[in-house]
Each structure stands twice: as structure tokens, then as C-alpha cells.
């Protein structure tokens, strides 16, 4: 059976799933999305994703055509129709069709789209060997200009940094903010481990407040581990005992080198392995 894509209450075959070329989500990246994971047929922290989606819509003054419960139901039904137990979900809400101008008030009919599929963001060996990444020259967007808490369809800032990583032979890149502090990678949040203590940049550093990031902080504290949200520099990453990334698609994945400098032993560390195991236990519970 081919994949079925949900658009505003109707399911379409993959090749027939279309929206208007006048939709401002297409024309200007004017829309929001959530990337989610399903384990054993259940979406991990679906309520948290719904809350973030609706906060993003409110900040952009996009009027949702559906309630939180309605969209959550559409997500679960799309998983079931596609018979996906363990997979990835991309939920999108666009501004809707309008004119070629920027005036959002001339747009109508926001589109709610749900895409589900199986996803392997990184091959298994990278979880065992770790990623080698570089620092991008592209600076993370200043929160005063565009809040990174809005998970918008316009990811050009991240894409430019991702291109830099690719050109350097890496699958990821670290992004700094305009103060020179560590923000996040192009698609994932970052954690360091030093002397048994976890640290991760605060939202004020210009990061998206990741759902998986929040889960890891909760798990760490349940395990009695110290976990601080503090400003970090590249020095803190270079000198860390361990570094790992978190994200819905990536889950947890280790970083073993930054800018050619080995981190710790140059191999995935025990803290990462422990937290990944605990994360899987919670996600699959």
C-alpha cells in the first residue's frame, strides 16, 4: 500500500497530495510544523507537540481550522491508515492561499497536512561511532528578529549552516548566536557532559525548545544527575568529556569531534549510552 497523505480531512496518494502555489507556506515559508516520532503506534509526547504547534500559530496569527484534539486525532489516524507503528510524522499548518504580496490578511483556508513515513535520519553506525561536526559561519537568527521558538516553515538559516557542514564533509554543523555562544546544531539541540554534569544552552541563547531536549532533562533529573541550562562557548564543547545531540528524528546521537578536535575519548561516552537507554525505555513504555 502506498503512503496516504492527510490534507484538511481528506487522504491522498503521495503523488496526488497537492496545495495551491499561491499558499503563503509555499511562497514565503509562512506556516509552522512539528516533527514527531511514533513508538509502538503511539506518538511520543503528542500533547507537548500540540502545545508548541498552537503557540507557534498564535505568534504568527494563523487561525487554526481545527482544534488541538482534532489535529491530534488526524495524526493518530494517519499513522493507523498507513499502518506505521514506529515512524516519523511531519505535521504542517500553512497560512493558506493568498496573493503574491506579503499581506497575510488576504490569505484564507489554512492547510493542515500530516505526512507519516519510516525514517532513519542517521545510519546505525553513527550512533555507535559518533558524529564529527564543524562550526558554521552562519549565525543563528537573533531571537529579537525572529523567535526560534516558532517552528516555522522557513528554515533557511539552518539550511545555510547545513550546507556549510556538508561542504566540510560533515552531516551536521554547530551554530553560534550573535554573542558567539553555542546555540544548537542545524536540526538538533546540544548537550555537554563535564565531570558527570550535563549542560545545555538556555532558550535565551536562540534555540528551539526541543521536545526531546525537555525529555532528556527530565530523565537526567529523575536519574539524580545534575543538568543545567547555561550559556556555553565552543571552549566548553572542545573540553567536554562527552557531547550529544537531541531531536525527534535523531533521538540522541553522540558527537565525537568538533572542528577537528576530538571530544573526550573520541568515542561515544557512558552518559550518552545511559541516557539513550533510558530515553528508549520511556519512549516505548
Buried b (16+ CB within 10 A) or exposed e, 2-26: ebbbbbeeebeeeeebebeeebbbb
* Phi and psi torsions of 161, nearest 5°: -70, -40
Dihedral angle, C-alpha 257, 260, 263, 265, nearest 10 °:
100
In whole angstroms, how far apart are CA 177 and each of 143, 146, 203, 213, 237? 9, 13, 11, 19, 15
Q: How many helices (H) and strands (E) does the chain have?
A: 8, 15
Catalytic residue of the set 4, 68, 151, 179 = 151
Here the cell at position 53 is 504547534
Rounded to 5 degrees, what angle do the CA atoms 237, 277, 235 make?
5
Adjacent-strand bridge partners of 32? 93, 152
Report the sign of the C-alpha dihedral through residues 157, 134, 126, 210, in that order.
negative
Are the C-beta atoms of residues 171 and 122 closer than 8 Å to each other? Answer: yes
In whole angstroms, how far apart are CA 213 and each of 25, 110, 156, 194, 245? 27, 29, 22, 18, 9
58 C-beta neighbours (distance < 10 Å), count: 13
Adjacent-strand bridge partners of 227? 198
Q: Active-site residue 124, yes or no?
A: no
Burial of 194 per CB tally in 10 Å (0-12, 13-18, 19+)? middle
Instruction: Tell me which residues are annotated as active site.
Output: 151
Amino acid at each position: 500500500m502506498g503512503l496516504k497523505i492527510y490534507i484538511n480531512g481528506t487522504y491522498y496518494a503521495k503523488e496526488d497530495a497537492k496545495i495551491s502555489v499561491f499558499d503563503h507556506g509555499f511562497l514565503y515559508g509562512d506556516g509552522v510544523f512539528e516533527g514527531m516520532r511514533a513508538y509502538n503506534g503511539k506518538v511520543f509526547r503528542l500533547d507537548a507537540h500540540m502545545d508548541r504547534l498552537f503557540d507557534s500559530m498564535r505568534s504568527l496569527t494563523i487561525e487554526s481550522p481545527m482544534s488541538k484534539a482534532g489535529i491530534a486525532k488526524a495524526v493518530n489516524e494517519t499513522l493507523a491508515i498507513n499502518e506505521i507503528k514506529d515512524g516519523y510524522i511531519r505535521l504542517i499548518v500553512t497560512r493558506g492561499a493568498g496573493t503574491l504580496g506579503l499581506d497575510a490578511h488576504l490569505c484564507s483556508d489554512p492547510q493542515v497536512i500530516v505526512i507519516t513515513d519510516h525514517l532513519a535520519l542517521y545510519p546505525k553506525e553513527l550512533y555507535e561511532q559518533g558524529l564529527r561536526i564543524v562550526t558554521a559561519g552562519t549565525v543563528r537568527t537573533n531571537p529579537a528578529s525572529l523567535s526560534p521558538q516558532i517552528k516555522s516553515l522557513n528554515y533557511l538559516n539552518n539550511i545555510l549552516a547545513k550546507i556549510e557542514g556538508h561542504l566540510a564533509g560533515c552531516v551536521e554543523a554547530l551554530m553560534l548566536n550573535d554573542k558567539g555562544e553555542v546555540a544548537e546544531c542545524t536540526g538538533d539541540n546540544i548537550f555537554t557532559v563535564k565531570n558527570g554534569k550535563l549542560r545545555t544552552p538556555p532558550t535565551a541563547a536562540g534555540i528551539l525548545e526541543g521536545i526531546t531536549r525537555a525529555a532528556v532533562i527530565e530523565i537526567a533529573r529523575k536519574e539524580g544527575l545534575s543538568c543545567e541550562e547555561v550559556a556555553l562557548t565552543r571552549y566548553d564543547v572542545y573540553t567536554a568529556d562527552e557531547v550529544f545531540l537531541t531531536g525527534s528524528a535523531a533521538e540522541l546521537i553522540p558527537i565525537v569531534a568538533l572542528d577537528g578536535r576530538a571530544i573526550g575519548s573520541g568515542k561515544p561516552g557512558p552518559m550518552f549510552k545511559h541516557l539513550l537507554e533510558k530515553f528508549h525505555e520511556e519512549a516505548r513504555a
